[in-house]
Chains A and B, each alone.
Chain A
Amino acid sequence: MTGVGEVAAFWILATITVGSAVVVALVRDLVRAVVALVGSFLGVAGLFILLSAEFLAVVQVLIYAGAISILMVFAIALTPRSARDNAETAMRWLALALALAMVGLLIAVATVTEWGPQAKEGFQETASAIGEALLNRYVLPFEVASVLLLAAMLGAVVMVRED
């Protein structure tokens, strides 16, 4: 983060991300909230590119802006109680406390962690490095991920089955 362009891009993307997140919390209509959430996801993808984590940015667009938002729209369409919109509930003080605790945790992690030299210079090529790490060092988590996805599929099948 040195040039004027990068700093400007960071602030614009941060504004888009946080602004969309505020819209998600304030808007009454749940489907509109999901659309605003997609804006927030895309802003985060832009921030990943600024961190030179291109592969993560692609994953962010593909999985979060693409698939997770679709799943949320389905969840809204499937829930009868979603008809009463984004109304205020007794849970909102709990949610506020949880959000503040999360902010505190993130700030603590960001300030305490010893960031390596890579964090300042950026990465050369991330996708092939991630692939190599997945196939060599992290092969067990990689296969466990497939079991997790399988469990999600089987769970959905069992829920939907009619007999």
Chain B
Amino acid sequence: MVAELFQQYVGVVVATVAGFVLVGAALFANRLLAPRQATRAKGLTYECGMLPIGRGRLQIHFRYYLFAILFLVFDIEAVFLFPWALSFLDVGAMAFYEMLLFIIALGFGLYYAWRKGVLQWR
């Protein structure tokens, strides 16, 4: 029974290894064939021919954190939906209302963000 389960993952392992080999071989061939000359000017950031001013690091606005949080929250909701959908028919009508409550709670959060105008792309 368990052995059968692992049989299904042989394909996953083969695909994963093949993916890594494919990318690794491309990078290795690149390293082998391309000429390399590391000079200081080559490593500089290109800024219309002028010497770059300041650090290369850019401070992004705080606002974008909200989008990351929203992505995480709805990702977790999707994870909860999956086992719910599988056992939906066995549990009956209660399952529907329980998930409805769950989605309404998250929907309220999205509504609040919308009303406060923080979803506006400025």
Partners in one complex: yes
Q: Are B106 and A149 in contact (CB under 8 A)?
A: yes
A153 contacts B112, CB within 8 Å? yes
Q: Is the interface of A mostly helix, strand, loop or mixed?
A: helix
Question: Given that A63-B76, A71-B72 are known contacts, is A146 also in contact with B106, CB under 8 Å in the complex?
Answer: yes
Give the Cβ gap from B58 to chain A, nearest Cβ, in Å.
8
**Min CB distance, A153 to chain B, in Å?**
3
Chain A residues with CB below 8 A from B55, complex form: 83
Most interface-central of B70, B75, B78, B108 (chain A CB within 10 A): B75
- For residue A110, CB closer than 8 A to chain B, the reply is no
Interface contacts (Cβ under 8 Å), in number, total: 147
**B118 sits at the interface (CB 8 A):** yes
Number of residues on chain B facing chain A (CB within 8 A): 52
Interface residues of B in 64-105 (CB under 8 A from A): 64-66, 68-73, 75-80, 82-88, 90-91, 94-95, 98, 101-102, 105
| Nearest B residue to A157, CB-CB | B113
Q: Which residues of B contact A80 (CB under 8 A)?
A: 59
Chain A interface residues (CB < 8 Å from chain B):
2-3, 5-6, 9, 49-50, 52, 54-55, 58-59, 62-63, 66-68, 70-71, 74-75, 77-78, 80, 83, 121-122, 124, 127-132, 134-136, 139, 142-143, 145-147, 149-150, 152-154, 156-157, 159-161
Interface residues of B (CB under 8 A from A): 1-3, 5-6, 9, 13, 55, 57-60, 62-66, 68-73, 75-80, 82-88, 90-91, 94-95, 98, 101-102, 105-106, 108-110, 112-113, 116, 118
User: Could you pull out 27 A-B pairs where Cβ atoms are within 8 angstroms?
Assistant: A9-B13, A67-B72, A70-B72, A74-B65, A77-B59, A77-B60, A78-B64, A121-B1, A122-B1, A127-B83, A127-B86, A128-B86, A128-B87, A132-B91, A134-B83, A143-B98, A145-B80, A146-B106, A149-B109, A150-B105, A150-B106, A153-B109, A153-B112, A154-B112, A160-B63, A160-B65, A161-B116
